[in-house]
Amino acid sequence: MKEPLLSLNGLRFLHIHPGIVPDVRGADCFFWSLLLRGKAGYSTFYMNPGIDTGDVITKHEFDVDLAHLELEKYHNDEIYLAILKFYDPCLRIMSLIYFLNSMLEETVLTDDSKSVNMREIPSEKQDIAEGRMYFFMHKCVRNSVIDSLKSKEGNL
């Protein structure tokens, strides 16, 4: 999204990012999270004109154990695309559910109407100087991460 749209007064866009920000920003963050943190991390935040620098609402990490899927039958490029097209979206949905449940646990429901006031969801500003920006993972590094998912031990 471009800056003019993100800067409209009174309008906010949620993003569920596959990385714990500010530690893991940028591209291929599902794979960078596995490599660096040993888990798939997801952050829900309000988008702003920066890359993955918006105000953070929730963070959640998931263990990834795909060894039971017999991944050794598939080429790493196929696994990469399957993760991006199917597995990652499922974890984003789970993160959305986590976010919605956390809103219900917080005091964001108004007493009289029992509706959610989306303008009052608690969030925390990111320190843009913290963390790192990651770019698309080199195929050799990506293959190493995928090979670790194929192994029965799942060690990265």
> What are the tens digits of pLDDT across the range 71-128?
999 999 999 999 999 999 999 999 999 998 887 776 545 555 566 666 778 899 999 8
What is the extent of the structural domain holding 120? 3-145
Domain-located, residue 135:
yes
Domain-located, residue 152:
no
**pLDDT score of 149 more than 80:** yes
pLDDT of 6-49, one tens digit each? 888 888 899 999 999 999 999 999 999 999 999 999 999 999 98
Domain-located, residue 68:
yes
Domain-located, residue 156:
no
Domain tally for the chain?
A: 1
CATH code, domain with 116: 3.40.50
**pLDDT at residue 32, rounded to an integer:** 98
Domain-located, residue 155:
no
DSSP conformation letters of the chain: --HHHHT-TT---EEEESS-TTTSEESSHHHHHHHHHSSEEEEEEE--SSSS-SPEEEEEEE----GGG-GGGS-HHHHHHHIIIIIHHHHHHHHHHHHHHHHHHTT-B-TTT--B-GGG---B---TTSS-EE-PPPHHHHHHHHHHHHSSS---
Domain-located, residue 95:
yes
The whole-model pTM stands at 0.86
**pLDDT at residue 14, rounded to an integer:** 92
Q: Which of 34, 36, 14 is nearest to 23 (CA)?
A: 36
